[in-house]
Amino acid sequence: MARRVELVGDLGAETDVWMGANLPVRLAYFVVREDGEVTASFPSPAGPTLSRIDPADWASLADRVPRLRTLAPDVEALLVNRVNGARDALVVSIDVCYHLVGLLRARRFGDLLGGDVKNFLADLGREVRGSARG
């Protein structure tokens, strides 16, 4: 089964959503729930940690990136990767996020970004850039 991965453009160095959620990391995914609530998930030793996103912050970001208004609730996510200088903002199917969580949980928390995680993130970036050209 092919993954759904779509580049949505540059969100800027810091976004209202990122700052509003007080995310202490450089890798997170954002999901719109059926009830319209938006949450951010990021790695922690216990698995993904959820943070609620202020609706006004999300609306501001969606004004700049209209694709975010059409995220399929609980099916698609905005994956933001700022690790090692990356500036990727991707719309992905939620299974991509769950796979990433599994990779992160399989590692010691102090070594979260080992080779398998770095390769997975790099593959996503190449995949989306390749599909944009083709």
Question: pLDDT class for 124, splitting at 50, 70, 90?
Answer: low
Domain ranges of the chain: 5-128
Specify the pLDDT at position 32.
96
Average pLDDT, the chain: 76
Could you list the beta-strand ranges (E) of 1-134: 5-7, 27-32, 38-42, 49-52, 76-81, 88-93
What pTM does this model have? 0.77
pLDDT digits (tens, 9 = 90+) for 28-54: 899 999 999 999 988 666 778 888 988
pLDDT digits (tens, 9 = 90+) for 13-32: 556 566 566 666 778 899 99
Among the residue ranges 5-14, 28-37, 112-121, the one predicted with the least confidence is 112-121
Distance CA 132, CA 134 (A): 6
